[in-house]
Structure 1
Amino acid sequence: MRWFGFGFNAFGQICVREKLSEEEGDGGAEEVKVFQPTELSGHEERGDRCVKTSVIRACWSRRASLNVDGDGCVRLAGSGQPSAVCREESRGCKDALVSESYLSLAFPDRIECWDLRKEEESPSWSMEIKPPSETSGTAHSTNTEPPLNLPLVPGGYISLKPPFYHSLSPHLKARSLALGAEHAILLSAAGVVYTWGLGSHGQLGHGVLTSEEEPRAVEALWGMPMRFVATGGWHSVCISDGGDLYVWGWNESGQLGLPSRGLSKAKLQQSSQQAEALNQDTSTSPVEEPQEGEKNEEVFISIQAFPALLDVTPSCEIKVVSCGSRHTAAVTTAGELYTWGWGEYGQLGHQNSVSSDEPQRVEYFREQQERVVDVVCGAWNTFAAVINKEVACS
């Protein structure tokens, strides 16, 4: 399995800036924005074999790559580091979570949080944990997934900043949990979705813009078991057992895949500028703009406070979904990657900076005969794991 990255690269999260400048020309734009999916370096040589990255975690300025084969080790890239640096204290960890300031590591017997802003010989915070078999009534007691699945830990979850540990009621029986900028979404073992935190952009899915201090079930999804949840800056998504995708929250940049007024205005302005330039060059009559009545017929959605079903592609089910600050990426069971939302830094993978409020397939991997098997969004970039289609079919 190989990982590719595209989008925001100002801190070298995707590839080393000097290398990028040599290949694409010397200039700030080329260093900051990676338009073409680029394979990540940093595979670890161990003896006579190469241990490849199997897990990616990302935030705005950093990327954490985890090798879970044997003595798993986390390599950090970004935030001014010249290359991917291996954190020796991470050896043996089973999962990791990275933010702008902290790196959280999950070991079989403990959780550690390291302050990335300091040179420390010991973690800023740690907590001992017991294996699920020894823990009764915890968040993982009925979970068939691996016992360590950050930010979930037995009995609660780990946040991105202090205080790190937050307890969860045992009756929730959490299977997975995702953290947004100011809200959280939890999936229970029974497939029920719970949300809490800030609700000002409809990101909680309760039909209102109020906040919730405690986990509250998303009633609009009752009776439809879900199997996957994810959250962006101010929007949330989930996948049903049948592979359907539901979205809700902020849609300012089309990150829900629903009609966005902001993107429509940008497209209209661009079309007007192109038409004006064409008129000046050819001295033709000006292109007529839609009448006011025609504009009013369009329906735009800035906030979707209830979950809405999104048809990404009519022929495939959705396998995995991930959210950036204002963009979303989904992998189908057929191994194709679709992206939508804000694309200013090339994070949509279409080799341009165009934003979109409609899911569009990333053609690069299809052209390279690669099958996408996983996707992880950073705030302003995207990372996709692929395997060769021939290998997938063998």
Structure 2
Amino acid sequence: MVSKTATTSKREVYDLFKRERPFLTHEHEMFRTSLQKFLEKEAVPNIEKWEEDKHTPKEFYEKLGANGFLCPQIKPEYGGLGLDFGFNMILAEELFRVGVGTLASTSSSIIVPYLETFGTEEQKQKYLPKCVSGEITTSVAMTEPGIGSDLASMSTTAVRDGDYYILNGEKTFISNGINAGLFFVAVKTDPKANPARKGISMILVEADTPGFSRGKTLKKLGQHSLDTVELVFEDARVPAANLLGEEGNGFYYLMDRLQQERILIAISSLVVAEEMLKSTMSYVKERQAFGKPISSFQNTQFEIAEMATELSMAQTFLDDLTSKHIQGENIVTQISMAKWFITEMARRMSARCLQLHGGYGFMEEYPIARRYRDVAVMPIYGGTTEIMKNIIAKNLGL
């Protein structure tokens, strides 16, 4: 016999946005709490202005550094804390949660690790402490006009001239081009190499290098607070000591860090999806139509239920991959799956959530309008959806 108490008890409400992740410790959550408080004070009140200015001031990144949030993985001998990837994950999550994620996360967790892994001791001593403090932010320059994922077809050259390299060429779609003090530039040091990828090298270019200049700032659909520019090299003279690693290995260095780059993009996209659904659920509960909240309409309930299911499944998959990545496992195929699926899921959700807002979703006063613009690029950068599917197919033996 079922007791009366059991049959009349209050229905348990499933909390979609709360989950246990065993790879995160108390120290990770302390870091998260401190970062959340910092962003609430230093970022949230200023985001609208930064969006209008099409630029986030360098002072913001210096404050991040001064408070110990940048490059958490860097070893203590270079001014860092020597922390694990979980801290980089939290940095990305909380920055993207408030909408200022791309620069600080990319510089700290994707670009600077190239220097940590392949740089000389002299290069590390010179640059890493300044990356930790926020004095230097970084940018990677790979893409050229007409050259996207086909990196081996780049035309920017670096010709050795004694103790210098002479750089000539152009780069485009370069994020953080205004703020960056140090550019990781992919160049052709051997244009005749066969295959062409063996002629690519990586050179560190400081912002004040003679012959190097920033071109026009590019107008974008979204992510307005992150500046994106063109770079121009006209007989730019860069010390040969700024070669990262060895000549001809630049392509392989870039490929070496792609697993971490793509899992961070998936992590960031998942957070954006969570925030879009969270704000949409709040909106539909409050918004009245025909004398009742639109959350009571079956179509609304079905839309939310479908998105919540996709999100929960993506959370479980990505948490498993993150745990394996922290343990150093090679999971390129699965991360390629996560990168394309979660970014595409977030892009679909942005349209569905905007639709549930009705006309108000088209108004800038509601955050879904900005999220809708910002998420559009996520299936493109860091390797397009099509490239991810090519990788998966190849690794499946097709």
Q: Normalised by the shorter chain, which TM-score bucket?
A: under 0.3
More strand by share: 1
State the TM-score, normalizing by the size of structure 2: 0.25
State the TM-score, normalizing by the size of structure 1: 0.26
More helix by share: 2
